[in-house]
Structure 1
Amino acid sequence: MNRARVIALFVAASLTLAGCSGEESSINEQMRQGDQKGYVAGDGTVQALAPAQRETVITLEGTTLEEEPWSSADHRGEVVVINVWGSWCGPCIEEAPDLEQVASDLREAGEPVQFIGVNSRDSVSNALAFQEAYDVSYPSLQDDGGRTRAQLGGLAVATPSTILLDGQGRVAARVSGQVDASTLRGLVDDVLDSEGRR
């Protein structure tokens, strides 16, 4: 059994018993610290939901950095990987190569997976410069004063955050904080497997 499946089973059990109070405590502690870093960092918590537990449907819409309209509704039937990031965020810089590696590998394999970034607190020019510097091949939605990010509800309080939607647009998994390539690929593979895509 791979690492992501073990995590998924553990998280499913712990969500049933305890909810997400641990993350809230971490966020509250960071806010009280007053360290002036300017954002709430996640602690790397991974949550994965079995198909029967997926209840939250998200439709994410916005305008890409290249001025194109984008909607997750246009990608029903695909796994959608949403990554909330900012060029000013250290963990976002560190995870960018991992996200690009997974996106590229899945695209080359012809998997039904769409990546989309949600930029936070950057000008379009700064965000585009970040994408160029880190060879990010998938689009990102513009920061619009937090309105696009707000469509994710309380699921993306930390920066970075990564949310996976299944083919029905339901939240299937999320990582609060920096994600590495093996964890992300395991989560995507598990969602694809759960939908009979393999």
Structure 2
Amino acid sequence: MARPRLVALLAAAALALTGCSGEGSSINEQMRQGDQKGYVAGDGTIQALMPEQRETVITLEGTTLEGEPWSSADHRGEVVVVNVWGSWCGPCIEEAPALEQVASDLREAGEPVRFIGVNSRDSVPSALAFQQAYGVSYPSLQDDGGRTRAQLGGLAVATPSTIVLDGQGRVAARVSGQVDASTLRGLVDDVLESGSAR
């Protein structure tokens, strides 16, 4: 993608986010800096919504790195954790062990939680190599020029971003930027405890 087009897309997305949290100014500042890093980094903003506040329903669909179709609609009744990442993103590399730890712990505990990655800007071989290198056991959706990421409705402008969907597919929480294991586990546990996982 040409750089002017990328900047225009990021500017539009940043404007859409300014009403959601304080992260809009952070994104705008990053774009003005012109540091050529090639992506918008999150500022660590955490947003958690009570069940009565959850209005945005997301249905995420795509093709996994292994070539299989995947849809969040097939996981209604479960909490779905969506993580947007790229192998070229330093914070994504740093958070990969934390995501895998939480995914593994919840799986072993038999909790109704599914993890899905959304790869950004990697070829399939590069993305698979990343998953193998960092022991990522859950699937990721292939990069398709941003169409899959666009299904997240502007909630994942930063890389990485993590979104937690409740059992009805509603956005229950999100983290703009790198997430640690205790924060992510707390966000998921809150959704499970609220009874809205099912």
TM-score after normalising by structure 2: 0.89
Shift of 1:20: 2.3
| Gaps in structure 2 of 5+ consecutive residues | 1-17
SS at match of 1:154: coil
Gap regions ≥5 residues in structure 1: 1-17
Q: Hey, what's the Cα distance between the residues in 2 that align with 1:21 and 1:190?
A: 21
Identity between Structure 1 and Structure 2 (%): 90
Which residue number in structure 1 is paired with residue 59 of structure 2? 59
Specify the alignment match of 2:109 in structure 1.
109
Count the aligned residue pairs. 181
CA–CA distance in structure 2, aligned partners of residues 160 and 188 of structure 1: 17
Show the counterpart of 1:181: 181
Residue 84 of structure 2 aligns to a residue whose secondary structure is strand
Other structure's SS at 1:84 match:
strand
Where is the helix percentage greater, Structure 1 or Structure 2? 1
> TM (normalized to structure 1)?
0.89
1:90 shift after superposition: 0.1
Give the superposed CA RMSD.
1.4
User: What pairs with 1:70-149 in structure 2 (closer than 5 Å)?
Assistant: 70-149=70-149
- Equivalent residue letter for 2:39: Y
Partner of 1:157: 157
Which 4+ stretches in 1 moved above 6 angstroms? none
Distance apart, 1:169 and its partner CA: 0.2
Judged with a 3 Å threshold, the aligned counterparts in structure 2 of structure 1 residues 185 and 145 are, in CA distance, closer, same or farther, namely: same
SS of the counterpart of 1:172?
Answer: strand
For 1:40, the aligned partner's letter is V
In 2, Cα distance between equivalents of 1:87 and 1:19: 30
Shift of 1:21: 4.4
| CA distance in structure 2 between the partners assigned to 1:96 and 1:60 by the alignment | 21
**AA at the equivalent of 1:144:** D
Q: How far apart, in 1, do the equivalents of 2:196 and 2:30 lie? A: 40
Any conservation in 1 of the 2:119–2:143 contact (CA below 8 Å)? yes
